[in-house]
Amino acid sequence: KQEVTQIPAALSVPEGENLVLNCSFTDSAIYNLQWFRQDPGKGLTSLLLIQSSQREQTSGRLNASLDKSSGRSTLYIAASQPGDSATYLCAVRRGTGGFKTIFGAGTRLFVKA
Amino acid sequence: GAGVSQSPSNKVTEKGKDVELRCDPISGHTALYWYRQSLGQGLEFLIYFQGNSAPDKSGLPSDRFSAERTGGSVSTLTIQRTQQEDSAVYLCASSLVARAGTDTQYFGPGTRLTVL
User: B76 to chain A nearest CA, in Å?
Assistant: 18
pLDDT at A1: 81
Q: Is the pLDDT confidence value at A45 over 60?
A: yes
Find the mean pLDDT for residues B68-94.
94
Residue A108: pLDDT band by 50, 70, 90 thresholds?
very high
Provide the percentage of residues in chain B whose pLDDT is more than 90: 66
**A-chain residues near B59 (CB < 8 A):** 100
CA distance B67 to B75: 7
Which pLDDT score is estimated for B41?
Answer: 76
Mean pLDDT of chain A: 92
Q: Does A48 touch chain B (CB under 8 A)?
A: no
- CA distances (Å), B35 to each of A18, B48, B107, B108, in order? 32, 9, 10, 11
- Banded pLDDT at B100 (limits 50, 70, 90): low
Question: How far is CA B61 from each of CA A1, A94, B36, B46, B57, rounded to the nearest angstrom?
Answer: 16, 19, 11, 7, 9
B64 touches chain A (CB under 8 A): no
Q: How many CB atoms lie within 10 A of CB A50?
A: 20
Q: What's the rounded Cα separation, in Å, for the pair A70 and A54?
A: 14
What are B4-21's pLDDT values in tens digits? 999 999 999 999 999 999
Query: Does any CB of chain B come closer than 8 Å to the CB of residue A59?
Result: no
Task: Give the rounded distance of the alpha carbon of A103 from its chain centre.
Answer: 10
* Contact by Cβ (8 Å): A76, A64: yes
CA distance B23 to A45: 17
Q: Residue A69, Cβ neighbours under 10 Å: how many?
A: 6
Burial class, A97, CB count within 10 angstroms (exposed 0-12 / middle 13-18 / buried 19+): exposed
What was the pLDDT predicted at B74?
Answer: 94
